[in-house]
Amino acid sequence: MRYSYYPGCTAETTAYEFGRSTEAACEALGIELVELEDWNCCGATSAHSLSLQLNYELSARTVGLGQEARLDMVVACPGCYQRVLNSDHRLRTDEAFRHEMEQVLGFEYNGQGQIRHLLDVLTNDVSLEAVREKVVKPLTGLRPVPYYGCVLVRPPALTGWDDAEHPALMDGVIDALGAEVMDWSHKVDCCGASLALNRSDVVITLSNKLVDNAIEAGANCLVTVCGMCHLNLDTRQKGQNLPIFYLTELMGLAFGSPPRDVNKWMKKHAVDGRPLIKSLELV
């Protein structure tokens, strides 16, 4: 299985461990990720907040970079995923925009590759059975709530996700890893995202509500696939001490990644999840 790969900025910085564990998990599953050459930032919330045009055009370049390869493009960051999906949709449906972008950026749009989120690829291309088969260390005793966050599933008309209010794709993967998925009502609630450094009062309120609800649901950790969510949930707790893991870190752990690598990822978290992993004898 071969895909174009758009890591996004956070995979190199605040979500470094997400980037590395994504690559490790994909390698273990035989997913070949061909990183887009010279990719740029999608502009995230800031671009669409100050200029819708800039927002569409930054990600049009990203779509353009993947055209020649004619492969589906895997995106792991929900923010990037949504921005690129929006631009791809516009390139597909707005002829004037497509022509203009082809000229300004110098690419030819063939629309043959789809923009796919990692969870979609894991479930629909790789299959949960294949994920289950790769597990050498079932994550017994781990009771995570799956947290999808806001932009991964929305807008439903573009993402085509299984359910915009109660998605289950991540639940399936966590279950395949041998952990016990805890049900809760906050899968797609927002953590406060881009208000992280400018209205942290709002982020602290929203993030702590999520952490408290996860604990109330009986979870001993929370699983995310978003760098922004991780940052907010991990660094803004008020002493609850709930470990926040990236799904791909848990995949690496279950697939038997070298303990040194797992340690290198997990030591990046503000709330140290390693004591929990150790107490469950998973390392």
Q: How far is the CB of 14 from another protein (least distance, A)?
A: 5
Distance CA 73, CA 57 (A): 18
Of the pair 46, 124, the CB lying nearest another protein is at 46
Q: Which is nearer to another protein, 135 or 164 (CB)?
A: 164
- Check if the beta carbon of residue 144 is closer than 8 Å to that of residue 179: yes
Residue among 78 and 146 whose Cβ is closer to another protein? 78
Q: How far is CA 70 from the centre of its chain?
A: 23
Distance CA 274, CA 250 (A): 12
Nearer to another protein, 16 or 261 (CB): 16
Radius of gyration of the chain (CA): 18
46 versus 114: smaller Cβ distance to another protein:
46
Binding site for another protein (CB under 8 A): 9, 12-14, 16, 38-41, 43-54, 57-58, 61, 104-105, 150-151, 153-156, 164-165, 188-190, 192-195, 197-202, 205-206, 235-236, 267-270
CB of 68 to another protein, least distance (A): 15
Q: How far is the CB of 124 from another protein (least distance, A)?
A: 22
**Strand-strand pairing, 244-246 and 221-224:** parallel
Rounded to an integer, what distance in angstroms lies between the CA atom of residue 151 and that of residue 77? 10
244: phi then psi, degrees, rounded to nearest 5:
-115, 115
Minimum distance, C-beta of residue 72 to another protein, in the bound complex (Å) = 23
Cβ closest to another protein, residue 134 vs residue 187: 187
Alpha helices (runs of H) in 106-225, residue ranges in sequence order: 118-120, 128-134, 156-159, 169-176, 200-216
Residue 160 region by backbone torsions, left for phi larger than 0, else alpha for psi between -120 and 50, else beta: left
**DSSP conformational letter for 127:** -
Task: Give SS3 for 272.
Answer: coil
Measured from the CB atom, the residue of 29 and 62 that comes closer to another protein is: 62
State the residue for tokens 């900025």: 9
CB distance 13 to 44 below 8 Å: no
Give min distance, CB of 28 to another protein, in A. 25
